[in-house]
Structure 1
Amino acid sequence: MTFKIEDRHGYTDVAPQFLGLDGGALSITGTAFNDNGLLLTNLFWTQRAENGAWTLQVGQIDVTDFVDIYGLVSPYSGFQNLSFNTNPTINTPNQGIGIAGGIKLSENFYAVASVADANADPSDPSLDVFSDGNLFKSFEIGYTSGFDRIYFDNVHLTLWHAEAADDGSRAEDYGAVFSAAWFVDNKWMPFFRAGASKGTAALYDRSVSAGLGYYGRNTDLAGLGLNWAEARNIDGDQFTLEAFYRFSISPGLQITPSLQFISNPLLNPNQDSITLFSLRTRIVF
């Protein structure tokens, strides 16, 4: 059994997650750093085959834990802009009731699928999901050099579909994403990620990201990423650059200064660019 309870609070008028939107950019600039309060983000049972051939999870799940992931996906230790986390062309739901499973197809190929509550609200967990029929579904097939390196050496294609909400608050959406990342010499991680969707509810209609991660001394990590995106019913192309360096002060303390530069903010055509500086601290007990 796995469980996680979070309590998120903002200490400024605008939480880091929404600084881009506040400045006129169609961009989530601080993924997970919001003011959502008390949340039940995980409460699920995991069942695995003895030989590791398959895994099943049932309960309160977070689909971003397994949909379109790669080695630099974590907003707590890697990039902070959503353009370099879970693909922003995917209309991923909040944490809620769902079923997810993975299976090894061969020594190098795997498949992952999920069905989850598209209307989930982790601040008010509900079991009334499958009777409503408002579901998020995903299917992924991928290749890895070995299952002990699935988060580091990974190439995959993900298909997803989100049903329309019964109350009309969300239209049907679907799309596909591709991701390729490889850990070279256990130091360099180049990546290329692209996605396209119907674009009715996802942040972007189309998106392409590319970049590089470099693991330095101890567990230091440098990252550089560039994203191009366009959104439905908004003219223009938005470009996002993020650069960071994660200093590992001790095994339990990391400090990460970062820079985000957003060119041609889609929500404010009168502004040429937005620049954000941040300092993230992570303490692990």
Structure 2
Amino acid sequence: MSKLTSKSPPIKRPQSLSHNLIGAIAVSAIALVTAEADAQSLVTTPDVIGQNVTSVSQLSDVRPTDWAFTALQSLVERYGCIAGYPDRTFRGNQATSRYEFAAGLNACLDKINEIISAGLADKVSKEDLATLQKLQEEFAAELATLRGRVDALDAKTAKLEAQQFSTTTKLSGQVIVSASASGSGNDFLVDPLGGNPVAGRANTTMISRVRLNFNTSFTGEDLLLTRLEVGNTGTNLSNSLDGGIFAGFAGFNGSSKFDYSGVGATASINRLRYDFPVGRDARVSIGTAMSLNDHLDANSFANDESADFGIGMFINNPLILPVNDGAGAAIDWNLGGGAFSLRAGYVAQNASSPTADTTAPNGTINRGLFGDTYQGTVELEFAPKNAEDEAPFAIKLQYTRASVNNLDYNMGGVNLEWAVNKAIALFGRYGFGNISNRGTAIAAALPAYTSATSDSLNPQTWSAGLAFPDLFKEGAMAAIAVGQPFVENKVGNATQTNVELFYRFPISDNISITPDLQFIFNPNNNSSNGTITVGTLRTVFSF
């Protein structure tokens, strides 16, 4: 007995496609041809297609109105040849169109052809062959249209396969462009620890940063992140403060400048790490270029320089993340899938240096993966979920042990956020601890700081703010925050205070514009320095 044939050639399917996609193409013909009948395409995806049913009557929108239904029903029940959706419908409330019916008929033709090709022709009765022949004649036009559409889809799929970048890697990117104007009441800003004064007036500047992320997954649950970063080295007046009192203390260097400023004009690897699950509730990350703020000290309203605040002290706690970047590892463990999560991270900035630094002013610095400069942090979060499976309240308790230039850091911290309702949220951070030079004056480690005669400091840092999600438009957000990056009465005659407010307005899913205003009072912990005002218009493109 020969194979069944029809007036149109058999449907060709590309062999290199995944099994799920092959199933999707074959079955989604039902949805594709519906567009011919009602001018509205049905959307089908591999995760909802391909569950076989054994009766046409199980497909609730197929009605037994004529002989063709009864005939196809009999074939389906004997050969199991129609695939439908889990909700047992063809995704619509209309009666089955002739095109949809032809798709079901085509599936039975393919199924019986497979049986005959396997040498099991005796399993197909002559009556069934006669029924199929009659159905083919009745629906010849629809079958021809169906196969033409699927052949066109096959051609488009083959073209996509030939031109695709990678089967495992997706490219995403972000571009930040901002115009920044800043100024102070002083011609020069004084450093109370003896550093050189810096200019107190600045011209308008343009700052840009570009990031390209190559997101690679091998299993669907893991992630190899490779990020390239480049900028125009643009800065503003607030960057100068981090060359003053904050420059010598890890974490505070960058607490006042924009987090996206100062990026070099030569492309470099900003992230290179591999994330993978361990068990059901834990995830581990390891890498040669990591940032702990990807894993620790997160806050829904103050954590992303592209979406909310721009300056470092509102992005992260400078005491909890004094080192932040380097080679290392991190783990995130949601205990039993409940309200508590335990996280830990470790990075070393000089992991690629096998030899010690004997030229350091504070004695020999032992570098490498477990040498100076390093940081280890643990964090315990409590974030109970409500009936909507959301966590409007979260509190994180943190501890950091670090060593930078042979200075020992022992720090504690708290990170809090509370979405009071859909329109308003509270957030804040607090850090405290000790920076010690192991019995020797701080100035021995930082020669420019000639007035730092104490062998240890006990700095504090804090920030608090209000956020207004979806203000005037869904996806928008306004917020204001105030904080002090370095509270220590041994440093300066006052305490620097930062205030920042912004409004992020989404133009589209891929473009947002953010006016931002920043005030810095008592810059460099010195009351003789005039208030610095920084105005910025930030535009972010994402793709």
SS at match of 1:30: coil
Q: CA deviation at 1:277?
A: 0.6
Map Cα deviations across residues 85-136 of structure 1 (whole Å, 9 max, x no partner): 111223532532111001122410010001111446xxxxx37532546421
The verdict on how the C-alpha distance between 1:39 and 1:187 changes in structure 2, with shifts beyond 3 A counting, is: farther
Task: Please tell me whether residue 46 in structure 1 is matched to residue 303 in structure 2.
Answer: no
Match of 2:539 among 276, 281, 284: 281
| TM-score, normalisation: structure 1 | 0.84
The answer for the alignment partner of 1:139 in structure 2 is: 378
Kindly report which structure 2 residues correspond to 1:197-212, keeping only aligned pairs within 5 A, or say none: 197-199=433-435, 205-212=459-466
SS at match of 2:347: strand
8 Å contact kept, 2:462–2:483: yes
Q: CA deviation at 1:41?
A: 1.8
| TM-score, normalisation: structure 2 | 0.46
Match of 2:467 among 200, 204, 213: 213
Q: Which runs of 5+ in 1 are unaligned?
A: 121-125
Q: CA deviation at 1:10?
A: 2.2
Task: Please tell me whether residue 192 in structure 1 is matched to residue 431 in structure 2.
Answer: no
The answer for the alignment partner of 1:74 in structure 2 is: 304
8 Å contact kept, 1:41–1:95: no
8 Å contact kept, 1:15–1:35: no
Kindly report which structure 2 residues correspond to 1:115-264, keeping only aligned pairs within 5 A, or say none: 115-119=346-350, 126=352, 129-130=368-369, 132=371, 134-146=373-385, 149=390, 153-164=393-404, 169-199=405-435, 205-215=459-469, 216=471, 217-228=473-484, 229-231=486-488, 233-264=491-522
How far apart are the structure 2 equivalents of 1:97 and 1:24? Answer: 27
More strand by share: 1
8 Å contact kept, 1:17–1:33: no
Q: CA deviation at 1:56?
A: 0.4
How far apart are the structure 1 equivalents of 2:237 and 2:506? Answer: 22
The verdict on how the C-alpha distance between 1:238 and 1:85 changes in structure 2, with shifts beyond 3 A counting, is: same
Q: Letter of the aligned partner of 1:48 in structure 2? A: P
Q: Letter of the aligned partner of 1:42 in structure 2? A: R
The verdict on how the C-alpha distance between 1:15 and 1:98 changes in structure 2, with shifts beyond 3 A counting, is: farther
Q: CA deviation at 1:8?
A: 2.4
Q: CA deviation at 1:46?
A: 1.1
8 Å contact kept, 2:226–2:271: yes
8 Å contact kept, 2:350–2:371: no
Match of 1:109 among 317, 337, 340: 340
More helix by share: 2
Map Cα deviations across residues 238-263 of structure 1 (whole Å, 9 max, x no partner): 21111100111111111101111111
Match of 1:28 among 256, 259, 262: 256
Q: Which has the larger radius of gyration?
A: 2
Map Cα deviations across residues 57-91 of structure 1 (whole Å, 9 max, x no partner): 01131111122111121111111122211112235
How far apart are the structure 2 equivalents of 1:94 and 1:16? Answer: 24
How far apart are the structure 1 equivalents of 2:532 and 2:239? Answer: 13
How far apart are the structure 1 equivalents of 2:434 and 2:462? Answer: 16
How far apart are the structure 2 equivalents of 1:109 and 1:186? Answer: 23
SS at match of 1:207: strand
The verdict on how the C-alpha distance between 1:108 and 1:161 changes in structure 2, with shifts beyond 3 A counting, is: same
Map Cα deviations across residues 203-256 of structure 1 (whole Å, 9 max, x no partner): x92112111111121211101001134145333222111110011111111110
Q: Letter of the aligned partner of 1:249 in structure 2? A: I
Length, aligned pairs only: 271
The answer for the alignment partner of 1:95 in structure 2 is: 325
8 Å contact kept, 2:348–2:371: no
The two structures, once aligned, show a CA RMSD in angstroms of: 2.9
How far apart are the structure 1 equivalents of 2:304 and 2:393? Answer: 16
How far apart are the structure 2 equivalents of 1:95 and 1:24? Answer: 21
Q: Letter of the aligned partner of 1:9 in structure 2? A: N
The answer for the alignment partner of 1:123 in structure 2 is: none
How far apart are the structure 1 equivalents of 2:245 and 2:370? Answer: 39
How far apart are the structure 2 equivalents of 1:118 and 1:227? Answer: 28
How far apart are the structure 1 equivalents of 2:541 and 2:238? Answer: 20
Higher RCO, 1 vs 2 (CA within 8 Å, ≥6 residues apart): 1
The answer for the alignment partner of 2:227 in structure 1 is: 4
SS at match of 1:83: helix
